[in-house]
Amino acid sequence: MNYVFYLALITLLVYWVESPVMAFPNFLIIRKNPADELEIWLKNFGTNRQELKSQSALPVYKFYSEVIEVLLNLARRMGGNYQEALLFLREGLQNDRQFEKKVKSAVLGTWLQMGLMMGLTWLFIMSAVTLVGMQVDGWKLFLIFFWQLIGLSILPLCLRWLRKKYFGDIGKIWKMLFVLKSLMKVPLSRTEVLTLAGVGELNHVKQNSLLSIVSKLKETCQKTLKMGTSYEDDVRYLMDELRFQEKWHFELFEKRITALKLAILSLFFLPSYLGFIFLLLGDLMSLM
């Protein structure tokens, strides 16, 4: 049955797009995602100090790996205990994992709805052809399938663009705040701490909804450099504010996904369904 083949094809396409690896892994191997691997690494770090000397053991996940690498480099260079900072990073990582589950759930729901719609369309096409007992030209069916495939190809591009738009700059600010928080008690000059945090990248944050946070963080950094005061309270407040902004951006992300689904359904799936009906009616009229 052809529609089963199409459903299998869509399933493989979704897996290829959403898979964290570039090639298909062995299906018998259960592979942890990078966030899980990094959390396990953080759990074991206290009992395995050899991680300080290892350059390849650190799992890579977002900006968390970069922050941990900063702490490890300081530990190699200056010594000291960074367990408290790593514990704080682990708490942030757990919050991030919960957030990513929500984002992945919304994206996966979109893929499933698209796949279901395509499967139902082809189920109707095959059932109608079988019921009427007519032979439809293969190239016509291929055009319908190709048009739907274009819609499915556009979907991941739009999803990546939306994700970057709503969460790209947030990730940059999170990295700065995590570095500032982690290096709060490290015996370094404030200038070096701000350099390691990469606060100079604040000028590249252009999202309007984050400009107030950017302005406050710049003001905090300037006050710290000029007066030598602690930035602990300001960083804690900015983290709470950024968490609120992140939730709001997720709500916007969900609304845009809904609009994207409606647009793709209207442009690529509904015309395919109606187009087949017109083709079928045209062939029936030619026989009368």
Question: The pTM is what?
Answer: 0.73
- Establish if 196 belongs to a structural domain: yes
Q: What percent of the chain has pLDDT over 90?
A: 8
- Establish if 23 belongs to a structural domain: no
- Summarize pLDDT for 105-137 with one digit per residue, the tens: 888 888 888 888 888 888 877 877 777 666 767
Cβ contact 126:3 at 8 Å: yes
Cα distances from 128 to residues 2, 75, 164, 182, 280, in angstroms, run 13, 69, 42, 64, 9
- Establish if 141 belongs to a structural domain: yes
Q: What total of structural domains would you count in the chain?
A: 1
- Establish if 77 belongs to a structural domain: yes
User: Which pLDDT score is estimated for 23?
Assistant: 39
CA atoms lying within 13 Å on the CB side of residue 88: 19
Residue 235 in this model has a pLDDT that exceeds 60: yes
Residue 216 in this model has a pLDDT that exceeds 90: yes
The rounded distance, in Å, linking the Cα atoms of 174 and 168 is 10
CB count within 10 Å of CB 198 equals: 15
The rounded distance, in Å, linking the Cα atoms of 288 and 72 is 80
Residue 126: give the domain boundaries: 2-15+32-287
